[in-house]
């Protein structure tokens, strides 16, 4: 059984405990440790080992340049890129109802790439493997049963009866965050009553390192390029329709997906088994409590149509690290309320703008009346011709 070192049970103990070892939590623990803070990562179970001989993970993420820059700073990006990652330099988005389309090209931004499509578990596993060498105490398996805030520390009570003392508690424990609930932080948002059906597919034509997204009356369909030449499908559908699509036999699924994608990559010739996950918008009312902060999905979940969920979480990580370093350099208590409010205000403001921006986009593309569909098409065509505005949108998505 894993035991907690006695040095962590009494006294101020560690600077930071990050609870949750997903991509964002592991990145936070690594970033804070590399910044000179004594850090522990608490996780109920270790991630599944990534192996190049395994099939590509069904959950993939589109990493923006801001995320890649952070992973480079943490010393893990080269390993991720060389293991199995697909760069993409073009994005084509089109409307099934009116044919209006918009294109984003890296060359227009004087860049080589828009980003990379990478498997979730490759990123998580690479970060996890880097923790120990960076000085992060990995406490796994470990579950926080309760915690108590004192004047200069937080005492964590673990499920196995041990306790850990830290100056700051960071909750990266997912959208259903028990720690957020324990802190009394409410959330707001909406259930989209949709599910994203996910699979990897083989297509007649190559993906050309392009991210394809078609807006259908039922929701967006994305085909994202994978390093092995296949494409990752993320097909957002109303719940009943998602269940129907999941129940189709393989050939019927291939046929329907081909029609839904407008055969942009030719016929769909093969697909992996499908999985689906529910979609919702959720924002925490605040990202901060006494000696406590939220980041990643514990703070915000957004519609996957823009592929920005993990990127927002990694921007949380960079902001938290920079805020704590600045406080230390000023000789302040890194976990005092004024310091944490600075992080919380900056990130919640940015995340709120992004989350409701994505939500507004989803609503606009759900319009079905003929005049509104026509107006939507006109707006997209105008936007595609306004190079300065397109550059601003691309720069925002890149995290600049």
Q: How far apart are the first and last CA of the chain?
A: 45
Q: What is the pLDDT of residue 390?
A: 56
Q: Answer yes or no: is 86 within a domain.
A: yes
Q: What is the pLDDT of residue 112?
A: 87
Q: With H, G, I as helix, E, B as strand and everything else as coil, classify residue 237.
A: strand
Q: Answer yes or no: is 23 within a domain.
A: yes
Reported as type and span, the H/E element at residue 202 is: strand 187-203
Sign of the torsion formed by the C-alpha atoms of 58, 64, 70 and 75: positive
Q: What is the pLDDT of residue 8?
A: 47
Q: Answer yes or no: is 335 within a domain.
A: yes
Q: Answer yes or no: is 238 within a domain.
A: yes
CATH number at residue 330: 3.50.50.60
Q: Give dist(CA 105, CA 82) in Å, integer.
A: 23
Q: What is the pLDDT of residue 4?
A: 45
Q: What is the pLDDT of residue 11?
A: 42
pTM above 0.75, yes or no: yes
Q: Answer yes or no: is 1 within a domain.
A: no
Structural domain harbouring 228: 6-363
Alpha-helix residue ranges (DSSP H) falling in 202-336: 239-247, 250-260, 309-329
Q: Answer yes or no: is 234 within a domain.
A: yes
166 phi and psi, to 5 degrees? -140, 160
Q: What is the pLDDT of residue 15?
A: 97
Q: Answer yes or no: is 89 within a domain.
A: yes
Q: What is the pLDDT of residue 1?
A: 33
Q: Answer yes or no: is 396 within a domain.
A: no
Q: What is the pLDDT of residue 396?
A: 53
Task: Give, for all 400 residues of the chain, the pLDDT tens digit.
Answer: 344 444 444 445 799 999 999 999 999 999 999 999 999 999 999 999 999 999 999 999 999 999 999 999 999 999 999 999 999 999 999 988 888 888 888 888 778 899 999 999 999 999 999 999 999 999 999 999 999 999 999 999 999 999 999 999 999 999 999 999 999 999 999 999 999 999 999 999 999 999 999 999 999 999 999 999 999 999 999 999 999 999 999 999 999 999 999 999 999 999 999 999 999 999 999 999 999 999 999 999 998 875 678 999 999 999 999 999 999 999 999 999 999 999 999 999 998 888 888 777 776 767 677 776 667 666 666 666 666 555 666 555 555 5
| Structural domains in the chain (count) | 1
């Amino acid at each position: 059984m894993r035991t907690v070192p006695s040095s962590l049970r009494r006294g101020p103990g560690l600077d930071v405990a990050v609870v949750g070892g997903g991509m964002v939590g592991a990145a936070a623990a690594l970033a804070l440790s590399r910044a000179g803070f004594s850090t522990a990562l608490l996780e109920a179970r270790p991630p599944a080992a990534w192996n190049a001989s395994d099939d590509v993970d069904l959950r993939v993420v589109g990493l923006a340049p801001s995320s890649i820059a952070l992973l480079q700073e943490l010393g893990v990006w080269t390993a991720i890129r060389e293991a199995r990652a697909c760069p993409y330099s073009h994005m084509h988005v089109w409307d099934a109802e009116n044919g209006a389309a918009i294109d984003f090209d890296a060359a227009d931004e004087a860049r080589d790439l828009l980003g990379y499509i990478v498997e979730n578990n490759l990123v998580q596993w690479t970060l996890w493997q880097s923790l120990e060498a960076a000085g992060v105490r990995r406490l796994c398996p470990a579950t926080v049963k309760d915690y108590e805030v004192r004047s200069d520390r937080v005492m964590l009570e673990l499920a196995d009866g041990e306790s850990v003392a830290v100056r700051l508690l960071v909750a990266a424990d997912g959208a259903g965050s028990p720690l957020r609930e324990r802190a009394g932080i409410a959330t707001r948002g909406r259930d989209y009553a949709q599910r994203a059906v996910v699979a990897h597919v083989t297509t007649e034509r190559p993906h050309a390192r392009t991210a394809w997204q078609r807006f259908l009356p039922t929701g967006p369909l994305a085909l994202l390029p994978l390093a092995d030449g296949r494409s990752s499908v993320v097909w957002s559908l109303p719940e009943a329709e998602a269940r129907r699509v999941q129940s189709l036999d393989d050939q019927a699924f291939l046929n329907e997906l081909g029609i839904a994608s407008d055969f942009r990559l030719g016929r769909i010739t093969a697909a992996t088994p499908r999985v689906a996950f529910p979609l919702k918008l959720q924002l925490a009312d605040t990202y901060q409590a006494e000696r406590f902060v939220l980041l990643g999905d514990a703070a915000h979940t957004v519609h996957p149509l823009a592929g920005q969920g993990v990127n927002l979480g990694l921007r949380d990580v960079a902001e938290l690290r920079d805020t704590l370093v600045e406080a230390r350099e000023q000789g302040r208590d890194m976990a005092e309320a004024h310091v944490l409010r600075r992080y919380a205000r900056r990130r919640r403001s940015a995340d709120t703008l992004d989350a409701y921006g994505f939500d507004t986009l989803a609503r606009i593309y759900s319009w079905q009346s003929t005049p509104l569909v026509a107006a939507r098409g006109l707006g997209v065509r105008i936007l595609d011709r306004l190079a300065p505005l397109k550059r601003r949108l691309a720069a925002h998505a890149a995290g600049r």
